[in-house]
Every structure is written in C-alpha cells, then in structure tokens.
A and B are shown apart, each in its own frame.
Chain A
C-alpha cells in the first residue's frame, strides 16, 4: 500500500511536454542568439591563446605568480607549464584556459551586477535570487546537461553555458555579502554628504567589498575548472575531452595526463587570483588541492577573510 497505488504523477512526461513541446520550438532562436556573444568571446580567446607562443604564455603567468603569489609559485608555474607541454597537452590546456576565462568572464558580468547592485540593495530581489542560487548549487550538474543540449545543442558554447550555471553562485553570493558587510556608518557617512546611490556604489561599496568579491571570483574560477570534464561530455574540448577519451577507452595513462594538466592549471590560476584578492595572504597548497576535490572547501577561509 502506497500513495502510488492511487495516483501516479507523470512528472517526466510533463517536463518532456514542457521542454520539447513548448520551450524548445518556441524559443530556439532566442537560445541560439544567447550563444553568439559566448561563441565570439570564446573564439577570440581561443585564437589568442593558440597564437601566443608557449614560452611567452608561461613567462606571463610566471610573472603574475611572482607578483601575486610569491617566488615559489612562480617556479611551480614554470615547472608545471613545461611539464604540460612535455606531456603533449599544451594546445588542450590553452583551449581549457580559454573556456575557463570565458566562463568566469560571463559569471562576473552576470554575477557582480546581480549580486551586488541588485540583490545587495533590494531585499526582495535577494529573496528571489537566493533560493535560485540554492537550486543551482544543489542540482547535480548532469541533470541540466540534457536540457542544455536540447536548447543549445552540443559544442563549446553549451559547455560554457553549463559551466556558467554551475560556477555562478559564489560570485553572486560573495558580492552580495561583501556589499552588505560594508560598515553601516560608512554608508551613513556617504549618504550624509549627499551622495547619489551610484556615487555610493562606486566610491564606497564596491571598493570596500572588493576583497570579498575577489574571493568570490576565485571560488567561481575553481568551480568552473571542476566543470571542465563534465562540460566535455556535451562537446566542449580541451583537457576535459582528454580525460573523457581516456575514460572511454579505459586508457588510464591518458586520463591521468589530462587530470594532471587540469590540476596544474587549477593551482596556478587559484593562487594568482587569491593573491589578487588578498595581497600578502596566501592559502596553503594543501588547501588548494583539497578545494579541487571538494568544491567549497575554501569557502570558510574566504568568509574568514571577510570577517577579519
């Protein structure tokens, strides 16, 4: 005896009818149009990273690491990138880099205004945004791969869209947190001198929230990297494809090589962006590695920085 003896809800049929019967046919042009800016940015970046010689790219990253994350990280960058090149994965790594940068760029463009300008100033907006983010973070990413493929097709751009959905929440949350945590008396002071809401945003709120926003950007970047393999399932190339191919052929060597490439790229990008957010304060390599396997492992550290 169970409720299903009396009533069976054809939930999957409803969804099918909704997505296939209505959403896809009615909005196909819209979903195609959405891809255009993503494809443009991605192609541009991909061509750029492919064009710049390997040594030049390594040098730039090593210098960034030296400036923001210290000498040890600069050495790690050089050694790591050389290793990637020597195992023959440099072109794939650059494709992945282009994808990550594109995804993070779109996350920032969507997330900072959404989190900061809208949700942080309007409690009602936050009441809508917050549960949406919760849903985005709890739905397993495989679940939305299917509708994405149906709406956008397969390829690089749909892969990036899936990555953006997956990686967007932290930047929205932390921008919101950063702006809401700006001391009340500073807001009062700004207001008391007659500033407009925009003046207050750009003179006071955004600069003071910058550290938290950068922590959010770092989190978003890490999540985007962890989507690389999954996005490859729907046709995004790069290192994820290498791992997937290895998996399909049970080629443990190839899968490991792809994985190592992702980890090296992740460590370099993580440490550099952390340095951007909190100069003079770096997180240990162990924590960085942990965050690879547990998305959000860095979160307490990030909020700790906000509080201090």
Chain B
C-alpha cells in the first residue's frame, strides 16, 4: 500500500501572533495559559498521521476538538501555522496559490456537513461544478456529472433544484459533486451529521458500497464514534486539537490509549466493532470416515469442548455434540458408532467478516459456529461462550 497523504507535525494557531503562541506551546504551556497570555487560540497541535491509498481514514472528535480545522488544512482552505501536509509528495501547507488550486482541481474534492449546494443551480449543474471550474467542455461535463449522479441514484433529479430535494438526497448530490471530478482524495466533513438517523445509516452503507468499487482515499470527519468504527479502516481520535490515538476500530476499542478514549468506547456496541474473526479459534475436527464417536468424545474431552465439527475430507459434514456422542458410544457397548449416526447436519455458519452482533442468534443455539471462507472451507470455529464474553467486556468496563 502506498501512502497517499502524510501529515507531519501540523500546528494551527488562530490569531494575529501565531509564532509567539507556537513558541509557548513548544515550551510546554497549556492551551488555556497561552490564550490567557497572548489571546491566541490553538486550533490543532502536533497532528501527524499517514493515510494509505484506498483507505477510509476517520477523524473523530467532539465539537471544538479541531477536526474541522484539520480537514480544512488538508486542502488548504486553512493554511497551517507550521508543519507539512504531503499529497503525493507536494506540500499543501507551503505551496503557491496556483499550485494549491491545481491540487484542488485535480486531486482532492470535499463534501460538506450542510451540503453546500449552490441554490441557484440545478442538481446537474451542481454535480458538474468542479468540472466547470476545471474548464471541462460542456458536453463532457454533462456526461460525467450524469454518471456521478447515477452512482448516487439521483440521475432522475438532474434538472431539479436543490431546494426540491430532501436532506439525504442533497447530500447525495454533494457526494456526486465530489465524485464527478474523479479525485483521488475525498474529504468528507461530517457529511451525515445533519441527516436523521435512519437516512444516516442508509448513507453510511451506501458510502461503503461505493467505496468498495471506487477505492478512493477518504478522510471522513465525524463526532459519532459508532460511525467512525463502522466506516474507518483507521481512526484518529482528537481532543483539544491533539490526536490522542490512531488505530483500527478494534485497536481503539480493545486498547484505548487513555481514559478519554476509554470513556468514549465504553458505550459503544462492541458487537458492531468486532468481527467473527476476532473470537474464532483454531478448528478442532474429527474425520467422518476414519474417526468414530469414541474418537470424537476423546477429542472433546481433551480440548474441553461441547461439540466438534466432523469433516468429510475438506468439506464440513456436520457437527457432533459431546452429549449425543458420549451417550451413543456408551449405549453401543464395544461396537464402534459411526459418526454419521450421531452427527447433526444442520449447523450454524458465518464468514470471517460477520459482525458479532449478527451472531447472537447463532450463538444462542449452543452449537459452535463454523467460520468459512469464500470457498466454503472451514477456517475457524467460534464457541458460543466466546461471543458473549467479548460482548460482555463492554459491561465490565462500563462498571469499572
């Protein structure tokens, strides 16, 4: 994976004497003390991270945490006081206005919280705006904008005005406008923050679906941790202008960097963060044709399991529980019991990316869940207890 965007030690001071404030900051003064002394506000301090191509990088923080300032520095709407912002090696923080304009036209587009559609333009003209600024001829502009509107399912509304559309639809237009210029980087500043929860959920799913085919590098700003965990390949958590932790959703939930992050993740739905993979264990199996019920009982006793999967070669044949296998083995006396006589052929399966929340049902059946890959091969097994243990660490942490 190549690094598309690199932010190095970026500071932003709002006020007329930024250098002074910066020096105080470097000498270890707090934000409040600097504001008292100089009247300068620290927007962002010491931000540094890398975003890989094709990733969704989520910056999450509460209002006033500096996340909107940070994202605006990435396309130069706000120039940083110090530090570097490298897009393919070009430093957005220090380049000329002309160069910056070129970068904005060619490489980077933005989607806004309150949509920022031009009310005097039709939907199609709005979607084509970036292309118009670039100087793309009218015909080509129209075709590309229509294609972008099709991607978000709004081509039928091309000739309507923004005011005729609902909030969710307007934001789709905002997204289409961003996509129409085919940028490599898409900045999204709380794009779903102004939408009601149902529509927000729908838009999140749609963004993920689009991203699966488009593979843009997306910087996504949000104040909603659940949204961050759902969308982010990587998440940066900001507080008071500083990035307190960068990591994957699972890193952040399972190893919060400090109390602030811990307090945040305490309330989240862990079932939506962790996938089947995280709780799966190495499969212990018996072979349908070579093993008997006795072997199965022995395996389960050795491994302390309640059930074990039965394989027919590479295929899963079924599952046998300790109770049935042991009873059948005892009742049959010295004769061997063939596994097919005690095996259940109905068993729960899931793939590795399934969220734990979706495994509640399967887990409550009491049988271990078979984790299969795309070729239907058994790659792991989840004990029902493991699902509930992972989910309940939430309540333990909240209680602490």
Contacts from A to B (Cβ < 8 Å): 183, 185-186, 188-196, 199, 203-204, 207-208
Contact = CB atoms under 8 A, between A and B. Distances in A.
B116 A193 contact: no
> Ordered nearest first, which 6 A-B pairs have the shortest CB separation?
A194-B104, A194-B105, A189-B116, A185-B116, A192-B110, A193-B130
Interface in B73-122: 75, 77, 101-105, 108-110, 112-114, 116, 118-120
A208 B120 contact: yes
B133 A194 contact: yes
5 contacts: A185-B112, A194-B103, A194-B104, A203-B129, A203-B133
B272 interface: no
A192 B177 CA distance: 11
B181 interface: yes
A191 B134 CA distance: 12
A195 B133 contact: yes
A193 B187 CA distance: 11
Contacts of A199: 133
Given A189-B110, A192-B104, 11 more contacts: A188-B77, A188-B116, A189-B112, A190-B129, A192-B109, A193-B104, A193-B105, A193-B109, A193-B129, A194-B102, A194-B133
Contact of B132 (A185, A186, A192, A203): A203
Interface of B: 72, 75, 77, 101-105, 108-110, 112-114, 116, 118-120, 129-130, 132-134, 177, 181, 187
Contacts of A194: 101-105, 130, 133-134
Contacts, number: 57
B311 to A, nearest CB: 56
A190 B112 CA distance: 11
B118 A186 contact: yes
Contacts of B103: 194
A99 to B, nearest CB: 34
Given A188-B77, A193-B109, A193-B130, A183 B116 contact: yes
Given A191-B77, A192-B110, A193-B104, A186 B130 contact: no
A192 B75 contact: yes
Nearest to B120: A207
B133 A193 contact: yes
B130 to A, nearest CB: 4
B270 to A, nearest CB: 36
A193 B130 CA distance: 5
Nearest to B119: A208
A196 B97 CA distance: 10
Contacts of A191: 77, 104
B120 to A, nearest CB: 5
Contacts of A203: 118, 129, 132-133
A192 B78 CA distance: 11
Contacts of B102: 194
B118 A204 contact: yes
Nearest to B107: A194
A185 B101 CA distance: 18
Contacts of B113: 185
A203 B75 CA distance: 21
Contacts of B114: 185
A86 to B, nearest CB: 44
A188 B120 contact: no
A185 B102 CA distance: 20
A204 B129 CA distance: 11
A196 B113 CA distance: 23
Contacts of A195: 133
B75 A196 contact: no
A208 B117 CA distance: 12
B119 A192 contact: no
A120 B134 CA distance: 25
